[in-house]
Structure 1
Amino acid sequence: MEERSNVGEYTPSYRLTVSGVDVYYEYYENQSSSEAETIILIHGFLSSTLSFRKLIPLLTKEYHVIALDLPGFGRSEKSRTFVYKLCNYGKLVIDFMNKLNIRQAVLIGHSMGGQVSLHAAKLAPDRVKKLVLLGCCGYVKRASRSVIYCSYIPFFSWGMRTWVMRKNVKDNLLAVLHDSKLVTKELIDGYSKPLTEAGFFHSLIRLLRHREGDLERADLQNIHTPVLMIWGREDKVMPVKTGYRLKHDLPDAKLIIYDNCGHLIMEEKPEDIISEVTKFLHEPEKAAVQPLPS
């Protein structure tokens, strides 16, 4: 059952049960055309719909835009039954589209959200028209068995909280932004809020236990969805060499790199991103290769 939520005066926010989990999302309908394409925004680790705050007003000029909080993050349920695998997140995105009767969408994923987007395209290639990956997570291995075993020790959640909070939110934002002037009180408060929820750290522990490694080369080579990757050259979280490697392994990918830009690229280069995304989405789709007659 879909339910309207009064989260903000100008925020069209909703809740929807998907795959047995309560999911928070924001739906910005394009007022010019009901036939506009739909873009779904998928955030990264330790983030939420907040990370797309600068892209949304620009994207809604031409597209229907949906931003969702993945289970365990933001305002979505901190479920203790959901299996926090990337493949399950990818399936949840497709199930979410089914619930809203969205036949096909463009997915824009940041960091871990990029891997989730790739999983959705792998699972249902006919449902994902194009992919835009921003500082995409790639080639990260699964946590070691010893770390997973340790996660069952009492008080591990305290250790997880200490690990996340070893730097304050301001320092964490300074680490993902090249331009320190962008670290405002508004941004600090927005990223601080989820950390106050006790259930949040239990979700992180489940993610640590369940998260499989990122898609490997063989899987990436079978994803033929057109991909635009945008990277910050000063990205310290996911170095630009990951972008070059993904470009090599994905059959139909292009890579754009911005100088003087870190991991939270949407805060630093929103207009540039929208310009490239718009050009990419306006490019005609390549005709399918037809087999030669026998």
Structure 2
Amino acid sequence: MPRPLTRNLFLILTVSLLLSACSRQGIYETAIGLERSSAGLEADTVTVDSLDIAYLRNHKAVDGDTIVMIHGFGANKDNWTRLAGHLTGDFNVYAIDLPGHGESSKPIDIGYRLEDQAGYVAQILDALSVDNAHIMGNSMGGAITALYAANHPGKVKSAVLFDPAGILEYESELVDLVMEGDNPLIPRKPGDFERLMEFALEKEPFVPWPIMGVMEERAIANREVNEVIFAAIRDAGFESDFRDAITEIQAPVLIIWGKEDRVINYRNGEVFAEAIPGSRLELMEGIGHAPMVEAPAESAELFRTFIGQPAE
């Protein structure tokens, strides 16, 4: 059964903690912990080479398939909790903080090209003994998911790409802004994180102001590594190689795209669908760059229908 955290629970939590004079950081940690718990998840870490990798997993394992969730640029594992709440009753979920993101190690001097990151995912899943799983990815994580599926055909049951990066045949508002020297995906000062949320999400979830403030502080603190990662992806000149690589995917692929996406033009979904043999494209009206955040129940249902395991 789905277990998403409701707006009312957030309000009750926020008011209670404010009355008890908790710090904003304390409010944030408690709220995030409550949302994870409500989704049936708990936090853990694993060491891969010299990197500490943070991730979320089922609080209680179930007799079902495994789903691995890979976030996008500048995001983290908690982008998946709302979707996971609709899946952990039947699936064993792993939501990973990629290197450079969330609570994982953030070295500046490692490779952050898409190919590098797909390699890190392979190492992380090996360390977690995760094999033959459904893999989901959003934006940058969608491109990483596609490359992982192409490179490890025997380990992927299905792949779900939410508004994936990797192909920019149709340009977006983000491309125009970046060309002008303005990247809304990298907060640099107060107010930038709210702009990021408004730019990326057409249907913004409710987030109380103390939590939003901590999220902004963390995003600004990650500016340096975010700039390194963005530059590594932007300057790689990978698109032709990427298109060739994803033609090798053997697993069933579902592409889900919000039609109001300002980060990556939804029409690129057709290009992905043409490149990946047997893939299916689903467009979501009124949704932006992160369908799993903006429409978690609908996203979960699309996945379940795709793999032939509808909710009971």
Where do residues 2-151 of structure 1 align in structure 2 (5 Å cutoff)? 8=33, 10=37, 12-33=42-63, 36-140=64-168
The sequence identity of aligned pairs, in percent, is 24
Aligned match for 1:202, one of 199, 203, 224: 224
SS at match of 1:114: helix
- Separation in structure 1 between the aligned mates of residue 132 and residue 261 of structure 2, nearest angstrom: 31
- Separation in structure 2 between the aligned mates of residue 102 and residue 48 of structure 1, nearest angstrom: 20
- Separation in structure 1 between the aligned mates of residue 61 and residue 103 of structure 2, nearest angstrom: 26
Q: 1:80 to 1:179 in 2, by over 3 A?
A: closer
CA contact (8 A) 1:30 1:61 kept: no
In the other structure, the counterpart of 1:238 is 264
Q: 1:219 to 1:162 in 2, by over 3 A?
A: closer
1:153-177 per-residue CA deviation (whole Å, 9 max, x = no partner) reads xxxxxx9999633652112111122
- Mean Cα deviation higher: 23-32 or 129-138: 23-32
- Mean Cα deviation higher: 93-102 or 40-49: 93-102
Q: 1:27 to 1:181 in 2, by over 3 A?
A: closer
Q: 1:278 to 1:120 in 2, by over 3 A?
A: same
Q: 1:274 to 1:123 in 2, by over 3 A?
A: same
Aligned match for 1:170, one of 179, 186, 194: 194
Q: 1:176 to 1:206 in 2, by over 3 A?
A: closer
- CA root-mean-square deviation: 2.8
* Higher relative helix content: 2
- Separation in structure 2 between the aligned mates of residue 175 and residue 224 of structure 1, nearest angstrom: 34
Aligned match for 1:276, one of 279, 294, 302: 302
Query: How far does residue 96 in structure 1 lie from its aligned partner after superposition?
Result: 1.3
1:224-273 per-residue CA deviation (whole Å, 9 max, x = no partner) reads 22100111111111111111110011112100011111112122211111
Gaps of 5+ in 2: 1-29, 170-181
Query: How far does residue 29 in structure 1 lie from its aligned partner after superposition?
Result: 4.9
SS at match of 1:240: coil
Superposition TM-score, scaled by structure 1 size: 0.78
- Mean Cα deviation higher: 213-222 or 252-261: 213-222
- Mean Cα deviation higher: 209-218 or 128-137: 209-218
Superposition TM-score, scaled by structure 2 size: 0.74
